Structure 1
Amino acid sequence: MTAPALILLADGAEEIRLLRKRMQMQRPELPVHLAFLDQCPPSAPQVVGALASRGIREAVFIPMSLTHAVDVGQSASDMFQRVRAAHPDMNLAMARPIGPAAELLSILDLRLRNALSSCHALELDGLVLATPDSGDVRGQSLIARRARQWSSHHRLPVAMASVDGSGSSIVSAINLLREQGRRAIAVGSLFLTASESFMAAVEQALSAGALTISSPLGADERIVELVMSRYSFAAMDMLDAVPADEHLGDDVITSSLELIAL
């Protein structure tokens, strides 16, 4: 019994391809695939169809959203239902999204330091935490917590912003800080990839007079660790769902131990 295939579910971007490549190099025994929710191929049905044709019967989807903590989103949910209906003989699972985990702040700080160094900024008295959207209810709560943690760490005021209009815009967040007397303001982007949404954030930040905006988090090792954590929980849940008579045999025991070690 082999471990389920891992499918990164995201919008198409080069950073996701680099992330998959890094994961596959680190865990060559684990099938790691990409499936995109936008128009970029391959789609989830194409990936699952290819797995099925090779006799693979188990797979775990990992939604690569940094703003959703529980809800995978309507497009991902609809896709998952379609794929399950098309492959009733396969055991498929949807893991929790990556979400706004605390570990992301360390990556964000590194990206922002690099951005500030590139623009030769000598002073900073305000920060904006920008996200592509406001996420689900739990994600919103966690993003607000991350903003407070970031503010406490740097001893600077942090205003929150989202690009899709579901919350304050980057321009509004910068203006809010300026009303408090802040002038040297930088934007930290809680984006995974250089998506269209991120490019919109860059345009908004610079047009509003921000010193700089950090680059996307990208294929960082800590992102890999978060993916593997989500995968391990979902894979173990799948193992627990196997009927009792299928748990017999040393090969199954070994497989479960391998999953625990992921």
Structure 2
Amino acid sequence: MGAPAAGPPLLIVAHGSRDPRHAATVHALAGRVAAARPGLRVETSFLDFNAPSVPQAVRRLASDGVRDVVALPLLLTRAFHAKSDIPAVLREATAQLPALRVRTAQVLGPSPLLTAALERRLREAGLTAADRAATG
């Protein structure tokens, strides 16, 4: 018999990108989370461009008998994707799965640690203070 589950599965919801490095990074992050939390099922999904889509991942979880899921938006701000896109796609994906409960966690930011790391990386990339001030 396997180790007991460490809580409901975590469904990472990333934006997606045409750049294959994005999906590779998301999958690597999911692997690190799973390694740090033995017994926790960690799945990835994407809003656009990459597979599995959010509906595909939700259907797979439901077909495996999962009844409770935590969706984690892999976003740094509570902007449009977090407020509108992700709730809508999760509602649509679960509309035909009444036995599946999906709770959505907060986005990862804004965080002073993430902001400092971003500022450092922008400096390393050669952006001036004026360039950085002009970015979102």
What TM-score range do you get, normalising by the shorter chain?
A: 0.7 to 0.9
Name the count of aligned residue pairs. Answer: 126
Q: What's the secondary structure of 1:56's corresponding residue?
A: coil
Pairwise mapping of residues 1-262 of structure 1 onto structure 2 (< 5 A)? 2=5, 3-12=7-16, 13=22, 14-68=24-78, 72-112=82-122, 114-116=124-126, 126-129=129-132, 159-162=133-136
Deviation at 1:97, TM superposition (A): 1.4
Q: Residues 5 and 17 from structure 1, CA distance in 2 versus in 1: closer, same or farther, beyond 3 angstroms?
A: same
**Structure 1 unmatched ranges of 5 or more:** 130-158, 163-262
Deviation at 1:106, TM superposition (A): 3.3
Deviations 1:6-40 (A, max 9, x none): 01111222221221121122213111111100031
Q: Is the 8 A contact 2:58 2:93 kept in 1?
A: yes
What TM-score do you get using the length of structure 1 for normalisation? 0.43
Q: What's the secondary structure of 2:29's corresponding residue?
A: helix
Q: Considering only CA atoms, is the larger Rg found in Structure 1 or Structure 2?
A: 1
Deviations 1:168-206 (A, max 9, x none): xxxxxxxxxxxxxxxxxxxxxxxxxxxxxxxxxxxxxxx
Q: Is the 8 A contact 1:69 1:99 kept in 2?
A: no
> 2-side partners of 1:112 and 1:79: how far apart?
32
Higher normalized contact order (CA 8 Å, seq sep 6+, divided by chain length):
2
Q: Is the 8 A contact 1:10 1:37 kept in 2?
A: yes
Q: CA RMSD in A?
A: 2.5
Q: What's the secondary structure of 1:107's corresponding residue?
A: helix
Q: Is the 8 A contact 1:35 1:41 kept in 2?
A: yes
